[in-house]
Amino acid sequence: MNNRTLLILLVLVGYVFSPTMFTWMVNPGGAWYRPFIIWFGLILVAAYIQSRRGKDDL
């Protein structure tokens, strides 16, 4: 799977699940670290994509 297909897939999944994630994230009875879980996941995905690239890729 190339990077463009992966990006389109991630955007589509984010669009479909964004209302549920937002409701879960801002729930007043939830834990304080909930918003940071989503950001941590995004950082992990970006690090994984970056690690797959070769040293000569731009």
Where does residue 4 rank: exposed (0-12), middle (13-18), buried (19+ CB within 10 A)? exposed
> Which one-letter amino acid corresponds to residue 57?
D
Instruction: Find the angle CA(30)-CA(21)-CA(45) to the nearest 5 degrees.
Output: 110
Tell me the domain boundaries of the chain.
3-52
Q: Does the pTM exceed 0.75? A: no
Question: What local confidence, expressed as pLDDT, does residue 57 receive?
Answer: 61
Q: Is the pLDDT assigned to residue 40 strictly greater than 90?
A: yes
Residue entry with tokens 């941590």: 40
Strand, helix or coil for residue 3: helix
C-alpha to C-alpha distance for 38 and 54, rounded to whole angstroms = 27
Per residue in 5-24, pLDDT (tens digit) is 888 888 898 889 888 878 87
